[in-house]
Structure 1
Amino acid sequence: MGEQFAGKTAVVTGGGSGIGKAVALALAAEGANVVVNDLKLETALAVVDEITAAGGTGTAVAGDVGNPVDVKAAVDTAVREYGALNLAFNNAGIGGPNGLLADIDIEGYRKLMDVNLHSVFYGMYYQVPEMLKAGGGAIVNTSSILGLVGEASAVPYVTAKHGVAGMTKAAALGYASQGIRINSVHPGYIDTPLLQGMPQESYDGLVGLHPIGRLGTADEVAEVVLFLLSDKASFVTGSQYAVDGAYTTR
């Protein structure tokens, strides 16, 4: 166990799998108290079991990040269980509907915006006041490579992730002088179990989008997130960090 985040408490949304799980485990391994927030309680509990088995401290909270009541409940849990909130990783997201703009289902669009964009607003809305009470803090919001560039067949997703990038910048400016740093991370395509059933041709096509010649891993994104949440990034706020194997460099 490390001590980089000893005495700090973090909320991680979408913490039950993928990048969220990797960040939750890494924070706990460095001494943080971690509130693992996921849509499914059993998924969050499984991550907390891993945290505690490794000697860390964590609490599971189920909730829909598209519902501000559930988002507030996760923050309230952090403060109630550990006394304060210092760190947050607003990461939960869904893929949503694909197609050209005029072919998109409106209800699917609304659902994606609730989960991928509005949830980040709700998160910071409740996280920031508690961090101010604690004397400052750090927030990282998950955007995407598609928060930096466009994709014709992913209009709702591109829209939400660009919104996260802009919201992060505006919020960072608003709280920079009050001790709260806010940054966004922009992952490329990440190699997860969800891709294991993909046809090899399609998988190879995704790899080909990344000049580095492979997909990223959740742990590689987690390393960047932990840096941004740490005091090592004390002069970094309002920034966009692409973790994308040069996808957006072309």
Structure 2
Amino acid sequence: MARPDRFTDKIVFVTGAASGIGRAAAIAFAAEGARLAILDRSAEALDATAEAVRSAGGDVLTIACDVSLPDRVEAAVARTVARFGRLDIAFNNAGVENQAAPVHEIALAEWDRILGINLRGTFLCMQHELAQMVAQGGGVVINTASGAGIRGVAGGAAYAASKHAIIGLTRSAALDYAKQNIRVNAVLPGNIETPMMDRFTGGDIQKAIDLEPVGRLGTPAEIAEAVLWMASDLGGFVTGAATVIDGGWSL
């Protein structure tokens, strides 16, 4: 249940916000009082999310940004701070799936694409977010890793490598900033009902359902609820965590 005042006047920065988990989190933050900067690769892709955020009562800034490009990321964080004055919470959710292939068949360009967006993008966002949070005296960063960050995935070496690395990056950053009133955590979704999952399965969602011990896919709203808890004062003693929300898939 939404608590309208939990994030009143908090400034939240969400990447990968055009659909799926990013959209669900942005809407959930707005429903609880937050003001948001939402990012994805094109401004047009963000229109539906921005409309939903406004309908939930949120003030929203839309930013077209390829998170793998340093100048774009730096500019996006700067625009957010110029508009809202600070940055309280960052949800680094932008990511892409790989083209399934065994390791010896992975093209270098495909490897670079996956690591560039999933890992480099998360790192670049964190650099600029954390610099701002240090300057203002605190904040919260949450990164989207995956259940694939703690297990192997046949045909998914590039994706799994990127998500394993995000967990290591998260845990190390948590130690770097623990004494500066900054918490850094990761959420590890399993098979979630998103456009990415639809693409990955070629539209055969039952293949993903069959992997889940609970017999269903997770929903973006379920992941968003965990993100909001991590970002709230109730999660104030949690840093460096890699919280698995996957219906038992990674067991």
TM-score, length-scaled by structure 1 = 0.95
Over 3 Å off, 4+ runs? 193-200
Query: Which residue, 130, 133, 143 being the options, matches 1:131?
Result: 133
Whichever residue aligns with residue 136 of structure 1, its letter is G
Whichever residue aligns with residue 226 of structure 2, its letter is V
Aligned-partner Cα distance in 2 for 1:172–1:235: 12
Q: Secondary structure at the match of 1:247?
A: coil
Query: Which residue, 139, 163, 169 being the options, matches 2:171?
Result: 169
* Gaps in structure 2 of 5+ consecutive residues: none
Compute the displacement of 1:55 (Å). 2.1
After superposition, the Cα gap between the structure-2 partners of 1:133 and 1:216, relative to the gap in structure 1 and judged at 3 Å, is same
Q: Secondary structure at the match of 2:38?
A: strand
Compute the displacement of 1:97 (Å). 2.7
Query: Which residue, 241, 244, 247 being the options, matches 1:245?
Result: 247
Query: Which residue, 48, 56, 59 being the options, matches 1:57?
Result: 59
CA contact (8 A) 1:86 1:134 kept: no
Compute the displacement of 1:230 (Å). 0.8
Match of 2:84 in 1: 82
Whichever residue aligns with residue 91 of structure 1, its letter is N
Aligned-partner Cα distance in 2 for 1:223–1:230: 11
CA contact (8 A) 2:140 2:231 kept: yes
Alignment of 1:150-189 (within 5 A): 150-189=152-191
Match of 1:15 in 2: 17
CA contact (8 A) 2:149 2:161 kept: yes
Aligned-partner Cα distance in 1 for 2:117–2:198: 25
Compute the displacement of 1:69 (Å). 1.1
Compute the displacement of 1:178 (Å). 0.6
Whichever residue aligns with residue 69 of structure 2, its letter is N
After superposition, the Cα gap between the structure-2 partners of 1:161 and 1:193, relative to the gap in structure 1 and judged at 3 Å, is closer
Match of 1:91 in 2: 93
Match of 1:140 in 2: 142
TM-score, length-scaled by structure 2 = 0.94
CA contact (8 A) 1:181 1:236 kept: yes
Q: Secondary structure at the match of 1:94?
A: coil
CA contact (8 A) 1:6 1:32 kept: yes
Aligned-partner Cα distance in 1 for 2:171–2:125: 15
CA contact (8 A) 1:93 1:116 kept: yes
Compute the displacement of 1:42 (Å). 0.9
Compute the displacement of 1:40 (Å). 1.2
Percent of residue pairs bearing the same amino acid type: 38
Match of 1:110 in 2: 112
After superposition, the Cα gap between the structure-2 partners of 1:74 and 1:208, relative to the gap in structure 1 and judged at 3 Å, is same
Compute the displacement of 1:134 (Å). 2.2
CA contact (8 A) 2:37 2:60 kept: yes
Q: Secondary structure at the match of 1:118?
A: helix
Which one is further off, 32-41 or 204-213? 204-213
Give the RMSD, CA atoms, in angstroms.
Answer: 1.6
After superposition, the Cα gap between the structure-2 partners of 1:128 and 1:158, relative to the gap in structure 1 and judged at 3 Å, is same
Aligned-partner Cα distance in 2 for 1:206–1:30: 32
Whichever residue aligns with residue 221 of structure 2, its letter is D
Query: Which residue, 16, 23, 26 being the options, matches 1:24?
Result: 26
Compute the displacement of 1:209 (Å). 1.4
Q: Secondary structure at the match of 1:170?
A: helix
Aligned-partner Cα distance in 2 for 1:100–1:37: 32
* Gaps in structure 1 of 5+ consecutive residues: none
- Residues 93-133 of structure 1: CA distance to partner in whole angstroms, max 9, x if unpaired? 01123211110010111011110001111011000111122
Compute the displacement of 1:196 (Å). 6.0
CA contact (8 A) 1:10 1:78 kept: no
Aligned-partner Cα distance in 2 for 1:33–1:160: 30
